[in-house]
């Protein structure tokens, strides 16, 4: 049933939309780039951070394990329970040597000139490219492969959402200041009602996580508890 929900928090010096009416059935969960190469502390990026940036490694993987992943699982289970759409994305090269990226891409250049650092850059079909075990999709859940931070730029996500009906998007995953921020901003600019679950996201340091969530024009920021508590009453069948 359609209903009004708390929307944005009041922001000093800015007009604030305090509540908004949505149809909760038209909601989808986006789980961005929760792949082995980014989430497993012993694979991919984890190896590099552990060796060269141990403080970042400690902060990032503690947040993944203790905060972000548990809350993503809570949201995923909630969306499944209420038969709402769940989408996953995987970020990486789709072709050998990064030929699917533009010539000027730093990632393509890194592959060409610094092959010893390829462990941070993942190809489709490699172990690092795969989603972590805890987030294996069900047969009816779509996985979109992308070579850009924002899946609206390199996958048919927008067309799929228009076809399937979701207009409210809950966004989770990594990195907060990269794929999450880019996707949330793009979706809001396209007219979707976007909620970023701040405790279901992570970045390499606290500042990079918090800065994109401080002042936004295209999406609102909520906790996992807030999102579940907002949507749950509206999803109860009416007698």
Domains of the chain, first to last: 3-7+20-234 (3.40.50.850)
Is the model's pLDDT at 202 over the cut of 70?
A: yes
Q: How far is the C-alpha of 5 from the C-alpha of 18, rounded, in Å?
A: 9
**In which order are the strands placed within the sheet that holds 220-222?**
142-146, 85-91, 27-32, 168-174, 193-202, 220-222
Query: Which pairing describes strands 19-22 and 3-6: parallel, antiparallel, or unpaired?
Result: antiparallel
Tell me if the pTM is above 0.75: yes
Give the tokens for residue 224.
Answer: 């996992």
Percent of the chain with pLDDT over 90: 76
Q: Would you place residue 166 in the very low, low, confident or very high pLDDT band (cuts 50, 70, 90)?
A: very high
Q: Would you place residue 125 in the very low, low, confident or very high pLDDT band (cuts 50, 70, 90)?
A: confident
Lowest mean pLDDT among 107-116, 121-130, 148-157: 107-116
| Extended strands (E) in 19-167 | 19-22, 27-32, 85-91, 142-146
């Amino acid at each position: 049933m359609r209903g009004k929900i708390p929307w944005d928090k009041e922001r000093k010096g800015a007009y604030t939309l305090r509540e908004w009416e949505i149809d909760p059935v038209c909601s989808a969960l986006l789980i961005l780039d929760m792949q082995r190469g980014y989430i497993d502390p012993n694979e991919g990026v984890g190896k590099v951070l552990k060796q060269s940036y141990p403080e970042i490694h400690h902060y990032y993987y503690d947040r993944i394990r203790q905060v972000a992943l548990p809350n993503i699982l809570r949201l995923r289970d909630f969306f499944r329970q209420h038969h709402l759409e769940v989408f996953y994305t995987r970020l990486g090269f789709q072709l050998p040597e990064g030929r699917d990226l533009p010539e000027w891409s730093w990632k393509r250049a890194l592959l060409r000139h610094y092959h010893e650092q390829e462990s941070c850059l993942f190809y489709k079909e490699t172990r690092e490219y795969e989603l972590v075990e805890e987030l294996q999709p069900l047969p009816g859940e779509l996985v979109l492969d992308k070579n850009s931070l924002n899946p609206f730029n390199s996958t048919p996500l927008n067309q799929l959402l228009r076809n399937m009906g979701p207009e409210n998007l809950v966004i989770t995953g990594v990195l907060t200041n990269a794929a999450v921020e880019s996707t949330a901003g793009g979706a809001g600019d396209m007219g979707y009602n976007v909620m970023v679950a701040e405790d279901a996201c992570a970045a390499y340091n606290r500042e990079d996580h918090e800065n994109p969530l401080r002042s936004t024009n295209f999406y609102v920021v909520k906790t996992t508890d807030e999102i579940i508590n907002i949507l749950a009453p509206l999803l109860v069948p009416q007698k």
